[in-house]
Structure 1
């Protein structure tokens, strides 16, 4: 289980670099677009469409890093009042429900990605911007997140990782 978790973390860190590259592109593209609007009075053709696709990559390639770093928002008011074993069980259940949610999103996203790829879908704009690759990345990101959430749930349920700050303090 630990080996799978470490492998998922390595993939997640690689995907984070992909997300950061697209974020960097977005920053430069928006700055160039603002400059062009100020200097020549019009936007750079196609930049808006490319920025839209970049946002998809930032979100879905960065999702894994958020799960690895436990960077999601959670409210622990109720679980903090419970005994540790119940708190751990509820945390594992929460991760299982998160995995189920990702799976429920991943399946139709995969079907849409397959269709989009089959027709080489593109977005209309100043020029045609292919969108099929972003749909494939979205589906991949969701399947990856589901797998990460399931592994995380198993690691919490078996006590291999702490799910509660009180557990970390007691070790």
Structure 2
């Protein structure tokens, strides 16, 4: 059993030998990176939550517009002439791309997990890391193309033909935002898998009954 000398704190932190009660300060740049990684994960999750709220609003708006259009069409013979374009080019696109990253975080995307039964956990983490990098690159490309489309259609003042001249760039904006957030999420997930072999912020495998393995 180690005997503690008077005046020396009973811990394992480094101390100056000339002054036993004085701790040696940590060097600059030695602070752990894990809190910063968690802050990044919380920021991504916050953005995903806000975008999921927008997706829910889009779904709710679709239900209202379809219901009103159906009632007006069959009860009053006066359908909403702008309903189809508004739903197809705005609400459906927003409901899909605003929810894509949060859906990935909760493990609700289609996932072929048959390899989990044949390889070890570490090897599966490497496979998920490599495939995640490919997915992140794909969504970065989609976001880049959507950005140029938004820029061009906004500069040219392009409109969707129909009863109402809806601006075209607004229909591509959810694709840009959703793909960008998805790329950041998958990239962060892949880095976590590559460094630590797991990512507690993303559900990667779902059991048959809906639980997490």
Counterpart CA distance in 2 for 1:117 and 1:2 is 37
Structure having the higher Rg: 2
The match for 1:50 is: 86
The match for 2:47 is: 11
Query: What's the offset of the Cα at 1:156?
Result: 1.9
Contact in 2 for aligned 1:84/1:164 (Cα 8 Å): no
Q: Kindly report which structure 2 residues correspond to 1:1-171, keeping only aligned pairs within 5 A, or say none.
A: 1-52=37-88, 53-157=90-194, 158-161=196-199, 163=204
DSSP 3-state at the match of 2:80: coil
Contact in 1 for aligned 2:58/2:91 (Cα 8 Å): yes
Unaligned runs of at least 5 residues, structure 2: 1-36
Query: What's the offset of the Cα at 1:131?
Result: 2.5
Counterpart CA distance in 1 for 2:164 and 2:137 is 38
DSSP 3-state at the match of 2:79: coil
Query: What's the offset of the Cα at 1:103?
Result: 1.5
User: How many pairs were matched up?
Assistant: 168
Superposition RMSD on alpha carbons, in Å? 1.9
Contact in 1 for aligned 2:125/2:198 (Cα 8 Å): no
Query: What's the offset of the Cα at 1:77?
Result: 1.0
TM-score (normalizing by structure 2): 0.73
TM-score (normalizing by structure 1): 0.90
Contact in 1 for aligned 2:122/2:197 (Cα 8 Å): no
Counterpart CA distance in 2 for 1:37 and 1:78 is 51
Contact in 2 for aligned 1:80/1:87 (Cα 8 Å): no
Structure with the largest fraction of helix: 1
